[in-house]
């Protein structure tokens, strides 16, 4: 690709430093213009004011946040730089371990568990000067697409509290959308960052597998899980990614080579970029007409900005969802064996240890987790392994090869993030297959280990946010972010959420994007 | 492609997974699993005769660590999270039989 | 100790060996026996949510050492998860190598000249330790169990023999030879009592001439080589009795009861447990390159079989007699063979060097391994030159092993040295001069008078003289 815009012009046209952006807050704190304590208090107050209605947080770490903010202010006063995210409140999905702070995975089985260690990403946030304000709600063990599978109650969509925020990182997406934190961490196994980001009208990014450490991320499906940022702008997401990405010797699957910093790529533009519009992830499999229209408009926007856009069919992607629903539950069934009532978490007593295990697990896991454990156990069991698990692994290879062929012709791919917009609470809860179909557009990249980002791009006819997705090959985050930023600038404005922090509501500006 | 999962197989799998399911749960999950598996069975349609399986997205090899001790956790902290403890150890109900 | 007439036993051994690394297989906790319960634990080896394993280089190298010492092919390997619930296993799955193990297709040569094939030697993690409190866990009651995870995650290599062992004697020989190899390769301390080497035996019987294998039983709880051979013998007898009585052997896991001297049923294995193996997604494949394998191979010292051959070769073309085979095996097993080889190289009679090493030095093998071979050789030279009697040499040897130092000094300190440097000749000459009559008779052929002169020399030297040396002096004076 050739770079169409100089970084300076790009930054100006991105209007990247809107007052509530994470970068603007950090800059203000680093320059001593704002105190971290004041920024944190504002956000704690917002949480206090609106989270009763939304249920984004399972734990609010107000005391810890205040202490940390005071430390950061002291550092600034002493002339030291607390780091690129100085004083920025961050919400952390509750499947990331935090020392001494309850980490539940929204499950009864881990209720009250206090890890003795920090996830690597949590430690990296702290080193960058960020302030954790709380732990966000999720579908139990990140299994779900609506955050209704939380043992502690659902999270609601700030744009319409009768609707789901998506999932499983629904708490993180809703918190960012509602202005309760400028940044949040989520995790994405089959779309769990991008799908809720789309439904809540924020930016969600799934990095290349292995670029962000999984150490301290409570495993769902180890070969698919990846931690990533949720933010209100592409530039903020890139800034958070730059902080959390990097090799971690504690994660054997961590890549030694990580992509170059994404922050500088935000303004690079798309001049000459070859964009493939993926038919299977746009037109097929029950994608709503409104969503299809927004994706088509996004394609036009990229073309206007200088990209070459062509349709591409990758028929193999049709098999991603079925393969995923064998691979992910299989890994999960094994990953979740350790919740046996012996060392931590819930115990329900029994006649003997096996009985105790079985009762504990029956009482501690919710229905969706049980379903996936059963499914995964079955897929791995003798007699079915070859037909199910091994075949799904081969299909995974087929999908990787299909992507590789597509990336010979295209630099990035464009797709819908979700087939539809936010659905109503309870609408799909009793139909697992319908729920699983919410992830049909996001799952292929998880199987390939590739990065993808969802950017808000207008609304459906009911005014609910629509997300479009940019997919890139492994380690293609910079070009992916550049394309996403172009879409963000071209996007129709997204409405301010109905339930939101007063600061966000009175800022009189769209929740997303910059000047138009 | 294997036949549809039955209620009995669901019960068997639940035992393997140490899940003490009620009859109601078995009645509910068996058809749900069958539905998902019917969908998942589409993978059989892909010709993979010449395709190796993928366990990892990237072909990393030999990720190793030096044999250097690092401090262990404080036992108090470890045992504080346990449902039952005795004598510095985790207490569990009696164990019937040896490991399989 | 072989199968009853008309029957043959088919035996395969599975040996688990704890590796002598500083840390556990997948984390930096210490690999150390005997610590306070649950003090060598961390998020990884406790299986805490979110933790991830990272493989230890040292464990891989020791596994390769074992494989190479057993003439295995070292291959690219993959870790799998073996899923089953048990409270001593923190993750409720064991990380192990399944269908792609690191070492395959080796063999082990036994001192009796037989060769047993080694199917595989793979890496896996150990479990924690459960102690049953109250009832035994087999009957209903109020019992419970306590779990210590210090051992959880300790690196193991499981060495699986081919089912090519045919008797309890051979089984014992295999285990003892394997132990010597594990120790010699530096991979393990081979202590069966502490559980750092654990042996399970798969035993089946068939009538001589039958091609089909009988149903096998796995015998566990073999805590010593003696238990192993007793248990295998008992199991062969039990199975033969069942079949001769018209019954059928059931596939079972059986437990060796050392006190009662029999095996008892642990569980029936009619339905194989479904472990749901799948590739461990938290680890990546292991593929040692040729350079690494060669590095490890070249750092391996000679193995016990080579070392036994080297000792036997000291005895020349005919080799050591069968009577000495046990001594050869002993010095090699105890890691003292280098002393024999060094002494023989300096001109000591191989038989003397072997006997002193296998009998005396072996009494404190650990200390004897530290002895300076030059000092050891010097001592044997003093004995061979008859400057020291056998009894004296043994006394000096004991001192040398426990305290070290120069044998000449030790001998002097013990009062042996006075006679060592020619003074014996003077004493003998003096005694002869004092008893001319006896001397004449002795020279006239009355050989038993040698005792008379020796007695006098002994009295004069307070028993420090070497009897053989006195006889030699007398012979010299006779001309």
Query: Cα A254 to chain center, whole Å?
Result: 19
pLDDT in tens, B9-55: 999 999 999 999 999 999 999 999 999 999 888 999 999 989 999 99
Separation in Å, CA of B45 to nearest CA in chain C: 22
Q: Is the pLDDT of residue C87 over 90?
A: yes
By Cβ distance, the residue of C143, C267, C286 closest to B62 is C286
Q: Tell me whether residue C1 is in a domain.
A: no
How far is residue C319's CA from residue C331's CA, in Å, rounded to a whole number? 16
CB contact C133 to A (< 8 Å) = no
Same domain, residue pair C94 and C16: yes
What is the pLDDT at residue C140? Answer: 52
Contact B67 C23 (CB under 8 A): yes
ipTM tops 0.90 = yes
Total count of residues recorded for chain B = 100
Q: How confident is the model at residue C96 (pLDDT cuts 50, 70, 90)?
A: very high
User: Tens digit of pLDDT for each residue in C8-67?
Assistant: 999 999 999 999 999 999 999 999 988 999 999 999 999 999 999 999 999 999 999 999
Pairing of strands B85-86, B89-93: antiparallel
C410 membership: H or E segment, kind and range: helix C407-413
Q: Do B90 and A223 touch (CB under 8 A)?
A: no
- Distance between CA atoms of residues A226 and A170, nearest Å: 16
C84, two tokens: 């089953």
In angstroms, the separation between the Cα of residue C43 and the nearest Cα of chain A is: 8
Say which residue the tokens 């539950």 belong to: A329
Residue span of the structural domain in which C244 resides:
7-297
Look at residues C277, C297, C317 and tell me which one is the last residue of a structural domain.
Answer: C297
If asked whether residues C409 and C436 sit together in one domain, one would say no
In tens, the pLDDT along C198-254 reads: 999 999 998 888 888 888 888 888 888 888 999 999 999 989 888 888 888 888 888
| Mean of the per-residue pLDDT values of chain C | 88
| A168 is annotated as an active-site residue | yes
Does residue C436 sit in the same domain as residue C365? Answer: no
Whether B65 and chain C come into contact, CB under 8 Å, resolves to yes
Could you tell me which of A217, A226, A218, A214 has the C-alpha nearest to residue A189?
A: A226
Q: Residue with structure tokens 């890496």?
A: C123
Residues C307 and C448 in one domain: no
Question: Does C48 contact A at CB distance below 8 Å?
Answer: yes
- Domains of chain B plus CATH, in order, are 1-47 (1.10.20.60)
Asked if the C-beta of C145 comes within 8 angstroms of chain A's C-beta atoms, the answer is: yes
Tell me: do C369 and C258 sit in the same domain: no
How many Å separate Cα B15 from the centre of its chain?
12
Of C74 and C446, more confident? C74
pLDDT computed for residue C332 by the predictor: 86
* E strand or H helix that includes residue C81: strand C79-83
- What is the residue-level pLDDT of chain A in tens, covering all 516 positions? 333 333 333 333 333 345 579 999 999 999 999 999 999 999 999 999 999 999 999 999 999 999 999 999 999 999 999 999 999 999 999 999 999 999 999 999 999 899 999 999 999 999 999 999 999 999 999 999 999 999 999 999 999 999 999 999 999 999 999 999 999 999 999 999 999 999 999 999 999 999 999 999 999 999 999 999 999 999 999 999 999 999 999 999 999 988 789 999 999 999 999 999 999 999 866 899 999 999 999 999 999 999 999 999 999 999 999 999 999 999 999 999 999 999 999 999 999 999 999 999 999 999 999 999 999 999 999 888 988 999 999 999 999 999 999 999 999 999 999 999 999 999 988 888 888 888 999 999 999 999 999 999 999 999 999 999 999 999 999 999 999 999 999 999 878 999 998 877 655 444 443 333
Which residues have a Cβ under 8 Å from the Cβ of C147 and sit 6 or more positions away? A342, B89, B90, B91, B92, C87, C88, C128, C129, C130
Q: Is residue C25 part of a domain?
A: yes
**How far apart, in Å, are the Cα atoms of B9 and each of A187, A378, A392, B13, C6?**
33, 9, 21, 6, 46
**CATH code that applies to domain A7-322+388-505:** 3.90.1300.10
Burial (CB < 10 A; 0-12, 13-18, 19+), residue A315, is: exposed
Q: Do C38 and B75 touch (CB under 8 A)?
A: yes
- Cβ atoms C17, C250 nearer than 8 A: no
Which long-range contacts does C425-430 make (Cβ < 8 Å, 24+ apart)? C425/C473, C425/C476, C427/C457, C427/C460, C427/C461, C427/C465, C428/C453, C428/C457, C428/C470, C428/C473, C428/C474, C428/C477, C429/C473, C429/C477, C430/C460
Q: Give residue C369's pLDDT.
A: 87
C288 and C356 belong to one structural domain: no
Annotated catalytic residue: which of A192, A233, A254, A454?
A192
Cα-to-chain-centroid distance, residue C394: 25
Boundary residue ending a domain (C414, C444, C464):
C414
Please report the sign of the dihedral spanned by the C-alpha atoms of residue C239, residue C240, residue C242, residue C246.
positive
Asked which of C414, C435, C455 is the last residue of a domain, the reply is C414
Count: domains in chain C: 3
The per-residue pLDDT for A6 is 33
Give the DSSP H or E segment for C179: helix C168-184
Question: What residues of C are in contact with residue A346 (Cβ under 8 Å)?
Answer: none
For residues C144 and C175, membership in a common domain is answered with yes
Query: According to the model, what pLDDT value does residue C320 have?
Result: 63
The answer to whether the CB of A84 falls within 8 A of the CB of A26 is yes
- The CATH number of residue C458's host domain is 1.10.10
Contact across the interface for C284 and A252, Cβ inside 8 Å? yes
Which residues 233-292 of A are in CB contact (within 8 Å) with C? 249-253
* A334 in catalytic set: no
**Taking Cα atoms as reference points, which of A241, A233, A273, A235 lies closest to residue A258?**
A241
Q: What is the pLDDT at residue C3?
A: 74
Same domain, C312 and C339: yes
For residue C129, list its beta bridge partners: C148
d(CA C109, CA C127): 31
Q: Which residues pair with C257 in a beta bridge?
A: C262
What are the structural domain ranges in chain A? 7-322+388-505
Q: Is C366's Cβ below 8 Å from some Cβ in A?
A: no
CA–CA separation, A451 vs C324, rounded Å? Answer: 71
**More confident call, A455 vs C399:** A455
Q: H or E element: which one contains C225?
A: helix C225-244
Which of C37, C78, C273 is opposite residue B88, by nearest beta carbon? C37
C99: contact with A, CB 8 A cutoff: no
By the 10 Å C-beta count (0-12 exposed, 13-18 middle, 19+ buried), C60 is classed as buried
SS3 A220: coil
Tens of pLDDT, residues C263-311:
888 766 656 789 999 999 999 999 999 999 999 999 998 888 888 888 8
Residue C2 lies in a domain: no
Pairwise CB contact (< 8 Å): B78 & C143: no
Per-residue pLDDT for C174 more than 90?
yes
Phi and psi, residue B59, nearest 5°:
-80, 65
Check if B67 contacts C (Cβ < 8 Å): yes
Rounded alpha-carbon distances, angstroms, from residue A191 to A196, A444, C100: 8, 9, 33
- Residues C100, C201: one domain? yes
pLDDT of C138: 52
Residue A93 designated active-site: yes
Q: Does residue C221 lie within any of the structural domains? A: yes
């Amino acid at each position: 690709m050739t770079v169409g815009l100089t970084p300076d012009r790009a930054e100006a046209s991105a209007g990247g430093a809107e007052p509530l952006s994470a970068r603007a807050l950090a800059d203000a704190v680093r320059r001593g213009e704002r105190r971290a304590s004041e920024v944190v208090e504002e956000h704690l107050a917002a949480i206090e004011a609106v989270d009763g209605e939304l249920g984004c947080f399972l734990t609010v770490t107000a005391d810890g946040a205040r202490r940390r903010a005071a430390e950061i202010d002291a550092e600034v006063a002493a002339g030291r730089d607390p780091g690129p995210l100085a004083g920025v409140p961050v919400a952390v999905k509750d499947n990331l371990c935090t020392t001494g702070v309850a980490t539940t995975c929204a499950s009864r089985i881990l209720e009250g568990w206090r890890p003795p260690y920090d996830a690597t990403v949590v430690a990296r946030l702290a080193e960058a000067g960020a302030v954790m304000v709380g732990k966000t709600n999720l579908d139990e063990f990140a299994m779900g697409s609506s955050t209704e599978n939380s043992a502690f109650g659902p999270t609601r969509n700030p744009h319409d509290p009768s609707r789901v925020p998506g999932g499983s990182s629904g708490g993180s997406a809703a918190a960012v959308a509602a202005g309760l934190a400028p940044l949040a961490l989520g995790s994405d196994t089959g779309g769990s960052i991008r799908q809720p980001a789309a439904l809540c009208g924020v930016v969600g990014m799934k990095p290349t597998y292995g670029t962000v450490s999984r150490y301290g991320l409570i495993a769902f499906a180890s070969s698919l899980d990846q931690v990533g940022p949720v933010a209100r702008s592409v530039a903020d997401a890139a800034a958070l990614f730059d902080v959390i990405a990097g090799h971690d010797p504690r994660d054997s699957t961590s890549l030694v080579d990580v992509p170059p910093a994404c922050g500088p790529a935000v303004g690079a533009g798309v001049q000459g970029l070859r964009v493939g519009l993926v038919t299977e992830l746009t037109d097929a499999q029950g994608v709503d007409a409104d969503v299809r229209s927004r994706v088509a408009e996004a394609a036009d926007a990229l073309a206007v900005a200088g990209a070459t856009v062509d349709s591409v069919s990758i028929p193999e992607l049709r098999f991603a969802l079925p393969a995923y629903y064998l691979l992910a539950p299989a890994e999960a069934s094994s990953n979740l064996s350790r919740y046996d009532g012996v060392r931590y978490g819930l115990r329900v007593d029994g006649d003997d240890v096996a009985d105790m295990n079985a009762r504990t697990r029956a009482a501690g896991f919710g229905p969706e987790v049980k379903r996936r454990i059963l499914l995964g156990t079955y897929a791995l069991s003798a007699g079915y392994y070859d037909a199910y698990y091994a075949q799904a692994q081969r299909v995974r290879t087929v999908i990787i090869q299909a992507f590789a062929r597509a990336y010979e012709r295209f630099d990035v791919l464009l797709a819908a993030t979700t087939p539809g917009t936010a659905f109503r609470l309870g609408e799909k809860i009793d139909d697992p297959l319908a729920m699983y179909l919410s992830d049909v557009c996001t799952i292929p990249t998880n199987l390939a280990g590739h990065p993808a980002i969802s950017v808000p791009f207008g609304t459906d006819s009911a005014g609910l946010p629509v997300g479009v997705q940019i997919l890139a090959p492994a380690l293609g985050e910079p070009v992916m972010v550049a394309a996403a930023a172009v879409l963000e600038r071209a996007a129709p404005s997204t409405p301010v959420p109905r339930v939101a922090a007063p600061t966000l509501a009175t800022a009189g500006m769209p929740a997303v994007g910059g000047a138009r | 492609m294997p036949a549809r999962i039955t209620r009995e197989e669901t019960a068997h799998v639940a035992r393997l997974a140490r899940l003490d399911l009620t009859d109601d749960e078995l009645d509910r999950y068996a058809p749900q699993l069958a539905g998902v598996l019917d969908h998942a069975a589409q993978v059989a349609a892909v010709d993979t005769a010449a395709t190796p399986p993928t366990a990892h997205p990237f072909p990393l090899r030999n990720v190793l660590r030096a044999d250097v001790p690092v401090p262990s956790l404080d036992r108090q902290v470890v045992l504080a999270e346990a449902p039952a403890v005795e004598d510095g150890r985790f207490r569990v109900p009696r164990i019937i039989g040896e490991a399989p | 100790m072989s199968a009853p007439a008309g029957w043959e036993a088919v035996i395969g051994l599975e040996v688990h060996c704890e590796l002598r690394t500083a840390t556990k297989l997948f984390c930096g906790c210490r690999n150390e026996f005997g610590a306070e319960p649950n003090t060598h634990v961390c998020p990884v080896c406790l299986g805490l949510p979110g933790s991830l394993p990272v493989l230890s280089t040292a464990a891989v190298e020791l596994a390769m050492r074992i494989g190479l010492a057993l003439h295995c092919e070292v291959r690219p390997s993959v870790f799998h998860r073996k899923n089953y619930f048990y409270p001593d296993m923190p993750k409720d799955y064991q990380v192990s190598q399944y269908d792609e193990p690191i070492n395959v297709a080796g063999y082990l040569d036994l001192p009796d000249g037989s060769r047993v094939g080694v199917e595989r030697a793979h890496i896996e993690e150990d479990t924690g330790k459960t102690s049953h409190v109250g009832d035994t866990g087999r009957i209903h009651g109020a019992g419970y169990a306590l779990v210590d995870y210090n051992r959880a995650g300790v690196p193991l290599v499981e060495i699986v023999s081919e089912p090519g062992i045919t008797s309890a004697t051979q089984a014992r020989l295999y285990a003892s030879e394997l132990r010597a190899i594990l120790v010699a390769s530096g991979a393990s301390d081979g202590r069966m009592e502490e559980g750092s080497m654990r042996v399970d035996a798969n035993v089946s019987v068939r009538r001589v001439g039958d091609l089909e294998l009988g149903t096998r039983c796995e015998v566990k709880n073999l805590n010593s080589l003696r238990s192993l051979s007793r248990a295998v013998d008992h199991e062969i007898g039990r199975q033969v009795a069942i079949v001769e009585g018209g019954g059928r052997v059931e596939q079972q896991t059986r437990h060796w009861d050392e006190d009662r001297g029999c095996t008892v049923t642990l569980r029936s294995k009619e339905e194989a447990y479904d472990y749901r193996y799948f590739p461990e997604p938290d680890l990546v494949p292991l593929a040692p390159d040729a350079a690494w394998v060669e590095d490890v191979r070249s750092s391996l010292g000679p193995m016990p079989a080579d070392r036994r051959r080297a000792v036997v070769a000291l005895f020349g073309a005919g080799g050591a007699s069968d009577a000495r085979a046990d001594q050869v095996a002993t010095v090699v097993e105890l890691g003292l063979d280098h002393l024999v080889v060094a002494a023989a190289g300096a001109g000591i009679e191989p038989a003397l060097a072997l006997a002193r090493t296998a009998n005396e030095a072996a009494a404190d093998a650990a200390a004897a391994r530290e002895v300076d071979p030059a000092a050891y050789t010097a001592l044997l030279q003093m004995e061979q030159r008859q400057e020291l009697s056998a009894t004296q040499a043994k006394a000096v040897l004991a001192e040398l092993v426990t305290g070290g130092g120069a044998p000449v000094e030790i001998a002097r300190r013990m009062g042996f040295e006075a006679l060592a440097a020619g003074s014996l000749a003077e004493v003998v000459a003096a005694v002869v001069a004092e008893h001319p009559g006896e001397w004449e008779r002795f020279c006239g052929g009355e050989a038993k008078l040698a005792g008379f002169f020796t007695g006098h020399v002994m009295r004069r030297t307070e028993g420090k003289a070497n009897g053989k040396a006195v006889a030699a002096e007398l012979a010299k004076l006779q001309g």
